[in-house]
Amino acid sequence: MRALFLTVFACAFAAAGCRQDMHDQPKLRGMRGSAFFADGRGVRPIVPGTVARGHLNEDELLHTGKVDGKLADVFPFEITRSDLERGKERYEIYCTPCHDRTGTGNGMIVQRGMKRPPSYHIQRLRDQPPGYFFDVMTNGFGAMYDYSDRIKPEDRWRIAAYIRVLQLSQNGTLADVPPAERTVLEKEQAQ
Ligand code: HEC
């Protein structure tokens, strides 16, 4: 019994001593000052040109919307129906508060006093390449702040593709509708 007691006591003593050493060792804490460095900061400034792991962003088209510094007329990946559906969903979350669901620029925030954005259906914006919409979302535009920290690049492209859908939808004619659907529309129109 006595031997057991001594062993437990010795272990506890050893462990406590060890813990104390770890507490007292010299170390730097994030955001706490340091007398060691000349600038007095514990956190060291990042070496210029440092790239965080997973943020190399080498693909110019995917990450900047440009090819050789010019706004891209193409998408960095093939746009499928599911990309458009995802684009619609993201657009309705992030853009409709100001641009509204059809893109005319009369969203609820605009009705409450925000500067009214131009409609996506004006000729100037219909003539813009997809890279332009990607760029506006990535860097902001005038009174509009950027979305680069909230929407990942792939989704920004899907939204750009969905803006194309909206532009088509507002400028389509009956001739753009497949014949099978046309009769349905004509019937509805006649009612
Ligand atoms: C809080 C309101 C608001 C939200 C949300 C918003 N925008 Fe805008 N947007 C604006 C305003 C305001 C302008 C006009 C800015 C200016 O001319 O100063 C604008 C302009 C634009 C333009 C036109 C730029 C041009 O050349 O005239 C595009 C394209 C655009 N926004 C896309 C988007 C997309 C895509 C989203 C969603 C990811 C979005 N916006 C979300 C307010 C908003």
Question: Would you list the domain boundaries of the chain?
Answer: 81-172
How far does residue 17's CA lie from ligand 1's centre (Å)?
A: 61
pLDDT given at position 7: 74
Ligand 1 within 6 A of 106 CB? no
pLDDT given at position 13: 58
Rounded distance between C-alpha atoms, residue 93 and residue 57, angstroms: 26
Query: Quick one: tokens of 92?
Result: 């309705």
- The DSSP result for 104-171, as a single string, is SS--HHHHTTPPPPPPTTSHHHHTS-HHHHHHHHHH-BTTBPP-TTTS-HHHHHHHHHHHHHHHHHHH
Q: What's the whole-model pTM score?
A: 0.79
pLDDT given at position 29: 81
Q: Please, what are the averages of pLDDT over each run of 10 residues along the chain (191 residues)?
A: 71 60 80 89 90 91 96 98 98 98 97 97 98 98 96 98 96 88 86 76
Ligand 1 within 6 A of 144 CB? yes
Atom nearest to 159 CA in ligand 1: 35
Atom nearest to 128 CA in ligand 1: 26
CATH class of residue range 81-172: mainly alpha
How far does residue 56's CA lie from ligand 1's centre (Å)?
A: 28
pLDDT given at position 175: 87
Whats the size of the chain, residue-wise? 191
pLDDT given at position 14: 60
Whether residue 65 contacts residue 71, with contact meaning beta carbons closer than 8 Å, is answered with: yes
Ligand 1 within 6 A of 115 CB? yes
